[in-house]
Chains A and B, each alone.
With several copies, the nearest count.
Chain A
Amino acid sequence: MATITPLFAPEQGTISANKEAASASLESLLAIRFFEEAVDGLFARGLMHGTMHLSIGQEAVATGVCAALRKTDYITSTHRGHSHCIAKGADLTRMMAELLAKQTGYCRGRGGSMHIADVETGNLGANGIVAGGIPIAAGAALAQKMQGRDNVVVSFFGDGATNEGAFHEALNLAAVWDLPVVFVCENNKYGMSFSTTKSMKVEKISERAAAYGLPGVTVDGNDVDAVFEVAKEAVERARVGGGPTLIECLTYRHKGHSKSDKNLYRTKEEIEFWKTKDPVGIFETRVIESGQLTAEEVEQLTQKVRDAVRLAIQEATQAPDSDPAELLSSVFRQVS
């Protein structure tokens, strides 16, 4: 087990104004960053296979949103899902084991990066299908409502996903049924290589909420506090029966779309510009400047997270490879 401190949501005020919350959120940001840097390295060294979609640069979205959630709340995630998974509290070892195709991985090596789910923390699964998780989130929210529970479901997806029919149908269903679901669009400006300036004609993706009679809001997705604030409002509204919200988080991925991306569709300048808006750096500076955490504490935290990731790699590497023997009997849940 290699885990980080669970996210802590302050009752009042911003995350960075609360020591405990700031510390937990920074851990989350760093865990996502270091986990993915490690993965990137393993991949480069040929130790990992398949493909990988990294959210380096987008860590504040998952962190800010998940800070507004309870452990019993649910999320649905995407092909770019490590951040959501970690922010919701997953075990880094089991994640790493999955990427390394081990029997101890979250999917026993059957799913890989694009399919990690974690029942324990309410992660209903990453999804290799763009927009595939959005109707599923609506359905999980419907279940909460019918079961009389007050859990909320968050559905993460990208800008490109909002051009899929699944987005449209799911938002409409959630709207007409007043479901406790929050739709979080991580607008990183590109669906693979295709810019949002070409893939849609709206200025803000949050404008699409109006087509379903829903509130829509756009927020700086590189600012944990800002994300947390709008997420908290939306989650609270959803929890008390106020229905869904569409939140657009403006952010950017530093790395290529996947392992085969040559970055031909965007400029170096653009990438460099966004690196100056690094969500991890911004948050670190803020919590140090506001005096919630000392530079030393940040340093300790950094070390702690580095150790956790290192431990995850170590434990995962030593785990047994996933087992072909049980495949046929795993297609169906066996009738008990």
Chain B
Amino acid sequence: MTERIITYAEAIREAIGQAMEADESVFMLGEDIGVYGGAFGVSGDLYHRFGEERVRDTPISELGIVGAAVGAALVGMKPIVEIQFSDFTAQAMDQIVNQAAKIHFMLGGELSVPMVLRAPSGSGTGAAAQHSQSLESWFAHVPGLKVVLPSSPADAKGLLLSALDDPNPVIVLEHKLLYKTSGHVPEEMYRTPIGVSNVVRNGTDLTIVATGVMVSRSVEAAEQLASAGIEACVIDVRTLSPLDMDPINASIAETGRLMLVQEAPKHVGFMAEVAARVSEGPAIYSLTEPVLRLCGMDVPIPYAPQLEKSVVPQLDDIVEGAKNLVRGV
């Protein structure tokens, strides 16, 4: 099969376009997704292809539009809400957490909220503290939400199509730095399952678990490590809720060493859950070294480029962390 190389943003747009063609009930709503094409260019030409009804520009009202999506989902539509920056989910938390996440359970099971909420996440663009957060841990902690962080163009498409199949609310956090990265993406409407971690690279010396933009960074680090004689297994958990620990536990059994890499601040972040799961199960006995968490610093994201870089794990940090872990220092 020949490679079909498109960007992460294009892969998302393709998934949405295909879903909209296949299913009349799918529509998008969000700020500046119409003629502007989306703040990060994701919706692109969808407005011209599907019209202003189905690619629906909204006023600046995050709470209102997520609420509108919930209401539409309750009665048979399949809305895809774009929140312009994931930081602005803070405005809409009530509708996400108190409504969307709970309705199916709380109202007795007859209603459900088949809604997808997409938002660009993460730092690296110099947009400072209110436009650079990684908030996946909040959502992962909320029963009733599924949380997905695609790390590659192929997963961006496949996971989004799975999210659209799901009769429950799914939060898809896309990393801003990935939008312009490219990779092979099949044209057909394939699904990447929600709830299945992905072993991106095999290796027997240590296990690196990563999310989002840290996946490719970890793979790059693994390649550098390989030339230093260290073989790292890199696992992309992809879906934070539900979390699939199987390949992680299996890899630890082989490597005995676990490094957890996330961009979000460390304290009470997602990777704490992975460490906790390991500490709770038999996998803890496989560990030959303490777990190493390499996370964002517990600070707001600063503006200055050198400051911004200094607060989230960079390639060198991962390489160095892995070396230290393997050498037991």
Contacts of B59 in A (CB 8 A): 160, 163, 169, 172-173, 176, 191, 194, 199-200
Please report the total number of A residues contacting B with Cβ < 8 Å: 77
Query: Nearest residue in B to A265 (C-beta to C-beta)?
Result: B35
Contact check, A139 vs B69: say whether CB atoms are below 8 A apart: yes
As a 0/1 sequence over residues 289 to 321 of chain B, the CB contacts with chain A under 8 angstroms (1 = contact) are: 000000001111011111100110000000000
Q: Are A109 and B304 neighbours in the complex by a CB distance under 8 Å?
A: yes
Chain B, interface size category, equals 35 or more
User: In the complex, what's the smallest C-beta–C-beta distance from A128 to chain B, in angstroms?
Assistant: 4
A163 to B64, CA, bound (A): 9
B273 to chain A, nearest CB (A): 17
The residue among A76, A111, A161 with the most chain B CB atoms within 10 A of its own CB is A111
A 13-53 contacts with B by CB, 8 A: 49-51
Chain A residue, CB-CB nearest to B310: A324
Contact with A along B50-94 (1 / 0, CB 8 A): 000110011111111111111111111101000000011001001
Inter-subunit contact B76/A143 (CB<8 Å): yes
**Which of A115, A144, A147, A164 contacts B106, CB < 8 Å?**
A115
Set of chain B residues within 8 Å of A146, measured between Cβ atoms: 27, 53-54, 72, 77
A302 at the interface (CB under 8 A from B): no
Task: Confirm or deny: B31 has a beta carbon within 8 angstroms of a beta carbon on chain A.
Answer: yes
A142 is contacted by which of B71, B126, B300 (Cβ under 8 Å)?
Answer: B71
- Residues 19 to 34 of chain B near chain A (Cβ within 8 Å): 25, 27, 31-32, 34
Would A50 and B106 be within 8 Å (CB), given that A111-B303, A169-B61 are in contact? no
Q: CB < 8 Å: which of A101, A140, A194 contacts B57?
A: A194
Cα distance A12–B60 in the bound complex, in angstroms: 39
Number of A-B contacts (CB under 8 A): 276
The reply on B98 being an interface residue by CB < 8 A is yes
Q: Select the stretch in A62-70, A84-92, A280-288, A328-336 that faces chain B.
A: A328-336
Question: Cβ of A232 < 8 Å from any Cβ of B?
Answer: no
Whether A321 is near chain B, meaning CB under 8 Å from some CB there, is yes
| Closest chain B residue, CB of each to CB of A76 | B71
Contact of A107 with B99 in the complex, beta carbons under 8 Å:
no
Residues in B neighbouring A173, C-beta threshold 8 A: 58-59, 61, 64-65, 68
Query: Is B13 an interface residue when CB atoms closer than 8 A count as contact?
Result: no
In the complex, whether A54 has a CB less than 8 A from a CB of chain B is no
Contact at A114–B130, with CB atoms within 8 Å? yes
Residues of A within 8 A of B275 (CB): none
A135-B307 in contact (CB<8A): no
Residue from A115, A139, A153, A336 within 8 A of B303 (CB atoms): A115
Q: Does the CB pair B108–A164 fall under 8 Å?
A: no
Give chain A nearest CB distance to B97 CB in angstroms. 10
Q: Is the CB of A107 within 8 A of B32?
A: no
Assess whether A333 is in contact with B112, with CB atoms less than 8 Å apart. yes
Is A169 a contact of B64 with CB atoms below 8 Å? yes
A-B contact pairs, 28 of them (CB 8 A): A50-B127, A51-B127, A107-B107, A109-B307, A111-B106, A114-B130, A115-B129, A119-B111, A128-B129, A136-B71, A138-B68, A140-B74, A143-B76, A144-B75, A146-B53, A163-B60, A163-B64, A164-B62, A166-B63, A166-B67, A172-B64, A193-B35, A265-B35, A322-B304, A322-B307, A331-B144, A333-B112, A335-B165
Residues of B within 8 A of A (CB): 25, 27, 31-32, 34-37, 39, 53-54, 57-77, 79, 87-88, 91, 94-95, 98-99, 103-112, 114, 125-131, 143-144, 146, 165-168, 297-300, 302-307, 310-311
Other A-B contacts than A327-B299, A330-B299, 13 sampled, CB-CB below 8 A, are: A50-B127, A107-B107, A107-B303, A117-B111, A141-B71, A146-B27, A153-B71, A169-B61, A173-B68, A321-B304, A322-B302, A328-B299, A331-B105
